[in-house]
């Protein structure tokens, strides 16, 4: 289809500390949402307009130019594993496809990659297990429906992988959209502080849906929650390290886990040590003073490159081992390279010139409970290249959904949970009243999202087939 000219999303002007902040009434804010229907009718969200020069494999190839060469084959291997794996790794393709269609202009802080596997459980600072978004590499302000479309499309792709029929898949889409609409309406009716302080505790979420969870399903969920609470720094110490005392260090399991000393064997050890400590000093300065004091009680012991995820494979991602009072007091930090958001070519440039800070500030805005050690750094490596990174704790009660094992009922329940979380993130960062005014009760939204998700899943399957063919190794002559 022909490319559609798209106006940039409307957003309130930047407000400085000395300027007056506009405060339209609730009725005016809802009317803003209803007026957006004239620009983009809700059924129009179901359209899939594509760029005339669309080439998804070329988009992915441009990303690979900035990746670690030796890890590019691993990224392709992971993406080629299934249409869902390809979808996970193709956020840049999805962004380019969305940009060809008109959008509402109702702006929020987008997660930017809100597929169903980027939701999960983790520990809050109060040490409860919460359910929320957990990946913010692509976060940027933009139209709220871009996150919603990404989420709906991911459920369609996953449902197809699980063998669900068309009626089952459509029911999940309607359930998801209805939940988003009812949740955003609820947040639109709440006080600002109540919305901000709300934490989506997993125990409370399961209690809310208790009538749909019983028997073996409940036992399986309880086991997963127990497993999540055990996935902590002590398990990381057992799984990722070898040695003890002064000889404690990361194990080597290439290409997934490679100690930095093995990667930089030809470097002067003093140069390497100086670079690592400079990076940590830069990170420490990004923390608020009380957390800086906490981090100062740990000493850096070792660093390793660790491959994570699907789309992130090939970026420079690290894990750092620090020790506090003794080796039974470890701290593991994940250090991820932060590139420009895949949304940036189609929306506005981030207000932060530091990409690590862009990720961290977006996470703090969207998440109901963020890691106390979130921070960022910019450092010039031994190769002379300056890169941005962000830091967070590794394996802090991490719970990931087992999508492959879900039946239609359970996947529908999970869709409700994700939709509620996404609505909360959008209510924290955007105007819940305007969104509620646009989406209404959710019926029209559900029909549109089902149509969009179905069309995009078809497209994703074709893209996956093309990628597998184009990434296949050349036949050996003779």
Examine the pLDDT at 2 and tell me if it is beyond 50: no
Examine the pLDDT at 451 and tell me if it is beyond 60: yes
| pLDDT for residue 11 | 46
Question: What mean pLDDT is predicted for residues 294-299?
Answer: 94
pTM of the model: 0.90
| pLDDT for residue 432 | 98
Question: What mean pLDDT is predicted for residues 277-284?
Answer: 91
Examine the pLDDT at 14 and tell me if it is beyond 70: no
Chain segment 201-222, per-residue pLDDT in tens: 776 766 665 555 555 566 666 6
Question: What mean pLDDT is predicted for residues 401-412?
Answer: 87
The structural domains of the chain, with segments of one domain joined by +, span: 26-229+405-469, 233-393
Q: Using 50, 70 and 90 to split pLDDT, how confident is the model at 12?
A: very low
Residues contacting residue 198 through CB under 8 Å, at least 6 positions apart: 368, 424
Examine the pLDDT at 38 and tell me if it is beyond 90: yes
| pLDDT for residue 452 | 97
Cα-to-chain-centroid distance, residue 213: 27
Chain segment 224-265, per-residue pLDDT in tens: 666 666 667 888 899 999 998 888 999 999 999 999 888 877
Q: Using 50, 70 and 90 to split pLDDT, how confident is the model at 478?
A: very low
Question: What mean pLDDT is predicted for residues 393-411?
Answer: 82
| pLDDT for residue 352 | 93
Question: What mean pLDDT is predicted for residues 314-324?
Answer: 92
Examine the pLDDT at 37 and tell me if it is beyond 60: yes
Question: What mean pLDDT is predicted for residues 423-450?
Answer: 96
């Amino acid at each position: 289809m022909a490319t559609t000219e798209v106006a940039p999303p409307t957003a309130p002007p930047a407000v400085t500390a000395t300027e007056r902040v506009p405060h339209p009434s609730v009725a005016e804010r809802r009317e803003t949402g209803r007026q957006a229907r004239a620009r983009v009718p809700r059924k129009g969200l179901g359209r899939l307009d594509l760029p005339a020069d669309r080439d998804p494999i070329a988009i992915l190839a441009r990303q690979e130019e900035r990746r670690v060469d030796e890890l590019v084959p691993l990224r392709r291997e992971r993406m080629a594993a299934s249409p869902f794996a390809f979808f996970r790794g193709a956020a840049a393709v999805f962004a380019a496809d969305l940009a060809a269609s008109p959008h509402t202009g109702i702006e929020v802080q987008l997660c930017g990659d809100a597929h169903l596997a980027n939701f999960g459980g983790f520990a809050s600072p109060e040490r409860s297990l919460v359910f929320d978004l957990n990946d913010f590499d692509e976060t940027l302000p933009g139209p709220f429906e871009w996150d919603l479309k990404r989420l709906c499309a991911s459920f369609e792709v996953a449902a197809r992988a699980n063998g669900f029929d068309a009626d089952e898949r459509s029911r999940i889409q309607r359930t998801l959209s209805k939940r988003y609409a009812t949740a955003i309406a609820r947040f639109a009716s709440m006080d600002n502080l109540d919305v901000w302080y709300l934490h989506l505790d997993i125990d409370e979420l399961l209690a809310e849906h208790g009538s749909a969870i019983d028997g073996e399903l409940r036992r399986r969920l309880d086991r997963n929650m127990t497993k999540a609470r055990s996935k902590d720094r002590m398990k990381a110490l057992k799984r990722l390290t070898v040695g003890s005392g002064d000889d404690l260090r990361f194990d080597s399991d290439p290409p997934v886990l490679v100690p930095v000393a093995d990667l930089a064997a030809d470097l002067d050890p003093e140069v390497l040590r100086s670079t690592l400590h400079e990076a940590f000093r830069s990170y420490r300065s990004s923390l608020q003073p009380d957390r800086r004091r906490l981090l100062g009680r740990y000493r850096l012991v070792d660093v390793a490159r660790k491959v994570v995820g699907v789309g992130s494979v090939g970026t420079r991602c690290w894990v750092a081992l620090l020790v506090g009072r003794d080796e039974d007091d470890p701290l593991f930090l994940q250090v991820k390279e932060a590139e420009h958001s895949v949304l940036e070519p189609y929306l506005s440039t981030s207000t932060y010139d530091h990409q690590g800070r862009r990720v961290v500030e977006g996470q703090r805005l969207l998440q109901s409970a963020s890691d106390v050690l979130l921070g960022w750094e910019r450092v010039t490596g031994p190769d002379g290249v300056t890169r941005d990174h962000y830091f967070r704790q590794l394996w802090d009660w991490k719970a990931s959904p087992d999508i492959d094992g879900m039946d239609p009922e359970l996947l529908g329940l999970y869709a409700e949970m994700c939709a509620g979380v996404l609505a909360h993130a959008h209510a924290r960062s955007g105007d819940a009243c305007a969104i509620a005014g646009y989406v209404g009760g959710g019926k029209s939204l559900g029909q549109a999202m089902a149509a969009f998700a179905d069309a995009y899943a078809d497209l994703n399957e074709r893209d996956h087939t093309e990628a597998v063919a184009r990434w296949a190794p050349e036949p050996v002559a003779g």
